[in-house]
Structure 1
Amino acid sequence: MGKEEHLEIVIERLREMLKTMNYGSVTLVVQDGKVIQLEKNEKVRIK
C-alpha cells in the first residue's frame, strides 16, 4: 500500500467518525510517520 493510498484510507475513516459525532475528540496515533490508529472519544450530553 502506497503512502497516498494509506492517507486516503485514513481520511475516509476520519470522515466516517466525524459524521456520527456531536461532541468529543479524535486522536491520531502515528508511528514511523504513518497513522496506525484512530481513537474516538465521544461525549454524550444529558439534558
Structure 2
Amino acid sequence: MTIQASPKTNRDVSDDVLRAIEELKSGTGFGSVEIIIHEGRVTQIEKREKIRFTLDKSKSSPTALAAAK
C-alpha cells in the first residue's frame, strides 16, 4: 500500500505525518496503526504489532509466523 497525497491532503496532513505512517506500515508484519486526531490535527500515532503463532504438527511447540512484507 502506498499513500498518495492529493493537493487537499498536502494542506491537511504534513509530510512528516505521512512519512511516519509509511514507515510504520513498512515495518509492521501483523498489527494495527492508530492515528489520534485532536482539534482536527494529527497529534499522535500508535502502533500495535502482533506476533502470531501456529502449531507446527512436526514439533511439540508453537512457531512464530514470519511477518509478511
Q: Normalising by the residue count of structure 2, what TM-score does the alignment of the two structures yield? A: 0.57
Larger Rg: 2
What percentage of aligned pairs have identical amino acids?
Answer: 30
Q: Normalising by the residue count of structure 1, what TM-score does the alignment of the two structures yield? A: 0.80
Counterpart residue type for residue 13 of structure 1: A
Shift of 1:7: 2.1
Partner SS state of residue 21, structure 1: coil
Q: Which 5+ residue runs of structure 1 have no aligned equivalent? A: none
Query: How many residue pairs are counted as aligned between the two chains?
Result: 45
Counterpart residue type for residue 24 of structure 1: G
By relative contact order (CA 8 Å, sep 6+), the higher-ranking structure is 1
Write the distance in 2 (CA, Å) between the matches of 1:43 and 1:24. Answer: 5
Q: Residue 39 of structure 1: which of 41, 46, 49 is its match? A: 46
Deviating 4+ runs (over 4 angstroms):
none
Q: Which 5+ residue runs of structure 2 have no aligned equivalent? A: 1-9, 54-62, 64-69
Counterpart residue type for residue 22 of structure 1: G
Shift of 1:4: 3.3
Counterpart residue type for residue 51 of structure 2: V
Alpha-carbon RMSD across the aligned residues, in angstroms, is 1.9
